[in-house]
Structure 1
Amino acid sequence: MSIDETKVKIKLNSTIVPTDGEEETYEMWLDGSLIKKTGKMYLRYEEQQSEGTINTTVKMDNHQALILRSGGVKMRLPFDRMQEQQGHYETHFGTMPIVTKTHHLSHENGDESKVNGTFKIQYDLLVSDQAVGKYTLEIQYVEGQK
């Protein structure tokens, strides 16, 4: 099994439009790794948030994607352009089922000579069959310094 890992610089832009609230936009610059494993591409990075350190893995594709978060936040967010997907979010009170309804999903990888690319997803998040907001996540990555 071939595993290729490259250190990358990540620019993460996240926009949330809650069903009943004001639009929120976040931008973060992070260090991470791009992993190519058996034909699949993954981004891994750590975020420091008020909840603590959050380890995130993003499995990227043009038709399906998966965001796994562990540490201060535990979440499984699957995405599929063709159908709604079941995920979950763990809270102190237990595990809450969530649903993602994907509107746009793309992964553009740079040419083979250098590691760079953009992953973008737009989706609705539903909890207990109620829409809680519209989300846009754009992750740009470029090979970091050795």
Structure 2
Amino acid sequence: MSMEETKVKIKLNSTISPIDGEKENYEMWLDGTLVKKSGKTYLRYVEQLDEKEIRTTVKMGNEQALILRGGGVKMRLPFNNIQEEIGEYDTQFGSLPIITKTKHLSHIHNEDSSMSGKFNVQYDLIISGQSVGKYTLEIHYSEV
């Protein structure tokens, strides 16, 4: 099984529109690694949040995608254009099942001059049967 790794610069834009509350926008610039393995494309990066290190892997696709977070935050967020998916979020009290209802999912990857691309997902997050908000995540990456 062959695996290619490329160092990339990542621009991450995240928008959260909670059901009750103000819309929040986050923008982060991160260093990461683009991994191509068995025909799949993954993006790996580490972010710091309140002095906690969060290791994130994004398995990118146009039909299905998956975000895995470990370290300071443990979370599994699956996305599927066709159906709702069940993920989980680990809290200090145990694992909480969460549902993602994907509204839009796309991954565009360019290998022309340098490795670059864009991953975009829009989804509703449902906890205990209630939508807690609409989320948008847009990731741009380019070879260092």
- The reply to whether residue 5 of structure 1 matches residue 10 of structure 2 is no
Count of residue pairs the alignment pairs up: 144
User: Under a length normalisation based on structure 1, what TM-score does the superposition of the two structures give?
Assistant: 0.97
Distance in 1, matches of 2:75 and 2:54, equals 10
Which amino acid letter does the alignment assign opposite residue 138 of structure 1?
A: E
User: Equivalent residue for 1:96?
Assistant: 96
User: Equivalent residue for 1:130?
Assistant: 130
- The alignment partner of 1:46 has SS state of strand
Report deviation, 1:27: 0.1
Distance in 1, matches of 2:41 and 2:82, equals 20
Report deviation, 1:51: 5.7
Distance in 1, matches of 2:122 and 2:61, equals 14
C-alpha RMSD of matched pairs (Å): 0.7
Gapped runs of 5+ residues in structure 1?
none
CA deviations over 1:93-139 (Å, ceiling 9, x no partner):
11000000000000001134310000000000000110000000000
Task: Sort the Cα spacing of 1:124 and 1:51 in 2 relative to 1 into closer, same or farther, 3 A.
Answer: farther
User: Equivalent residue for 2:142?
Assistant: 142
CA deviations over 1:65-99 (Å, ceiling 9, x no partner):
00000000000000000000000000001100000
User: Under a length normalisation based on structure 2, what TM-score does the superposition of the two structures give?
Assistant: 0.98
- The reply to whether residue 61 of structure 1 matches residue 61 of structure 2 is yes
1:11–1:30 contact (8 Å) kept in structure 2? yes
1:51–1:73 contact (8 Å) kept in structure 2? no
Identity of aligned residues (%): 66
User: Equivalent residue for 2:19?
Assistant: 19
Gapped runs of 5+ residues in structure 2?
none
Of the structure 1 ranges 70-79 and 47-56, higher mean CA displacement relative to structure 2 is found in 47-56
Distance in 1, matches of 2:107 and 2:13, equals 15
Distance in 2, matches of 1:120 and 1:42, equals 14
Which amino acid letter does the alignment assign opposite residue 39 of structure 2?
A: G
Of the structure 1 ranges 108-117 and 131-140, higher mean CA displacement relative to structure 2 is found in 108-117
Distance in 1, matches of 2:36 and 2:109, equals 12
Which amino acid letter does the alignment assign opposite residue 31 of structure 1?
A: D
